[in-house]
Amino acid sequence: MKILAVDDDPFIRELLPIVFREAEYPHLTIADSGAAALALLNESKEPFDCLLLDIEMPEMDGITLCRKVRALKDYQNTPILMVTLRSDAASIERAFAAGANDYVTKPFDVKDIATRVHVAERMLENTEKAPRLDLNALADDAAPGVHEFRLEDPVHIYGVEQLVLPFSLGNYLSQLSRQHLDICQVFATKIEGIEDIYANSTSSEFARTIAAAASSIAKVVDCPQLLMTHNGCGTILSIVTGDSLPGWPEIEGMIQEELDAVDLRHSDGRNMPVTLSVGGPIQPNASRTQRVRKTFDRAIRRVASRQKVKPEAVSLRRPAVSAAH
């Protein structure tokens, strides 16, 4: 595995080769700044397989560097691990929103590095399980119902603030300290009639629906501590740390109002109403090993219990066309 580590601290730069060799990852390149890292990424003939970025750096911090890396064509899906002080939880949400997939805290040891890089390797192996869609690259005149992804795939939409990959959101949740678990809330939002939307819309229209739902959630919750992922089947999982959530169940109406204001339309100009159900918030499971699966499953069951048929959700539908898998 070819790894690039970026850190401005000379001591850390001397320590990292030793730590990575002991962790059996000898192919390590080190840069001392964000600018030097970008130069290496642009000049390297073979792309790096994993990046390790220190958050606190002068001139260009790790979060800014992460955002710039994600703009590079060869590094849109490369695992990015952030390095941060154990007490700096606030920066982690911003790093994930910028495109990070995981993090390791200082001071770290060989076990910490080995564990998180092993996780990055699994991400590389499973990268195709979350198809990535670029709204600007999808054709508006494509055939409705014909997609290169399945309804249950956790389709990720590039460029939506605070929307991250399912793998990344799981990493974030699994590493939360007990202190942050006490102020963390998880909830799920479900797009009603998503089966009809998938069958009767183009990939561009489907992607814009997911993006509009996520953006509406972000506007209502309105805090940097929000992270979301599309988990497939029109379900968006959200994690918030702090006390920033609006009242429940009023939040459902507030998110729906934001979504209605987007005025989604089919490519031919027809109105495309979309209705959401929002499940009540839960606190994450305390067990680190079972936290992600059990927490997300509970959140999804909660929104399923709230789903309802709304008259305003009915829209003009195109004839269904078989999906291409």
Q: Residue 52's domain is classified under what CATH number?
A: 3.40.50.2300
Q: Cα separation of 247 and 245, whole Å? A: 7
| Assigned domain for 232 exists | yes
Q: Judge whether residue 315 has pLDDT over 80.
A: no
Domain ends where: 125, 154, 188?
125
Question: Is 50 among the domain residues?
Answer: yes
Residue pLDDT, tens place only, 169-188: 999 999 888 888 888 999 99
Q: For residue 245, what pLDDT band results from cuts at 50, 70 and 90?
A: confident
Cis peptide bond upstream of 26, omega within 30: no
Q: Is 322 a residue whose pLDDT tops 70?
A: no
Q: 48 and 149 share a domain?
A: no
Residue 48 or 286, more confident: 48
Is the pLDDT higher at 322 or at 170?
170
The DSSP secondary structure of 105-126, one letter per residue, reads: EES--HHHHHHHHHHHHHHHHT
Find the length of the chain: 325
pTM, full prediction: 0.86
Domain boundary among 79, 100, 125: 125
Name the token pair of 14.
Answer: 């001397």
Q: Which contacts (CB < 8 Å, 24+ apart) does range 8-11 have? A: 8/32, 8/33, 8/54, 8/57, 8/58, 9/54
Work out how many domains the chain is built from and give that number. 2
Query: 324 lies in a domain?
Result: no
For 238, counting Cβ atoms within 10 Å of its Cβ (0-12 exposed, 13-18 middle, 19+ buried), the class is buried
Same domain, 167 and 262: yes
pLDDT tens-digit readout, 182-225: 889 999 999 999 999 999 999 999 999 999 999 999 999 988 78
The answer on 212 and 77 residing in a single domain is: no
In a domain, 323, yes or no: no
Give the containing element (helix H, strand E) for 172. Answer: helix 166-174
Can you tell me the distance from the alpha carbon of 265 to that of 139, in angstroms, rounded to the nearest whole number? Answer: 15
Residues 143 and 114 in one domain: no
Specify if 137 maps to a domain: yes
Task: Tell me: pLDDT of 317 over 70.
Answer: no
Whether 151 and 92 map to the same domain: the answer is no
Q: What is the pLDDT of residue 61?
A: 95
The per-residue pLDDT for range 281-314, each reduced to its tens digit, is 999 988 888 899 999 999 999 999 986 544 443 3
pLDDT at 2 over 60: yes
If asked whether residues 144 and 274 sit together in one domain, one would say yes
CATH number at residue 170: 3.30.70.270
Which helix or strand (DSSP H or E) is residue 253 part of?
helix 250-262
Percent of the chain at pLDDT > 70 equals 91
Cβ(67)–Cβ(98) under 8 Å?
A: yes
Is the peptide bond between 249 and the residue preceding it cis, with omega within 30 degrees of 0?
A: yes
Which residue range forms the structural domain that includes residue 69? Answer: 3-125
Average pLDDT, the chain: 87
Determine the pLDDT at residue 126.
Answer: 67
> Residues 199, 289: one domain?
yes
How confident is the model at residue 308, as a pLDDT?
A: 53
Neighbours of 84 (CB within 10 A): 22
CA-CA distance, 276 to 186, in Å (whole number)? 17
DSSP classification of residue 163: B
Q: Which of 125, 151, 170 is the last residue of a domain?
A: 125
Question: Of 84-98, 135-149, 236-250, which gets the smallest average pLDDT?
Answer: 84-98
> Which of 104-108, 242-246, 257-261 is predicted with the least confidence, judged by mean pLDDT?
242-246
Q: Does residue 81 sit in helix, strand or coil?
A: strand
In a shared domain, residues 277 and 140: yes
Q: Is 50 exceeded by the pLDDT of residue 321?
A: no
List, for residues 258-278, the tens digit of each pLDDT value.
Answer: 999 999 998 888 999 999 999
Mapping DSSP onto H, E and C, the string for 63-74 reads HHHHHHHHCCHH
Instruction: Tell me the helix, strand and coil percentages in the chain, rounded to 5.
Output: 40, 15, 40
168 pLDDT more than 50:
yes
- Strand ranges in the chain using DSSP code E only, listed in sequence order: 3-6, 28-31, 50-54, 80-85, 102-106, 132-133, 156-157, 184-191, 226-230, 235-241, 276-278
Nearest-Å Rg of the Cα atoms of the chain is 21
Q: Are residues 54 and 144 in the same domain?
A: no
Least confident piece of the model among 10-19, 27-36, 172-181, 184-193: 172-181
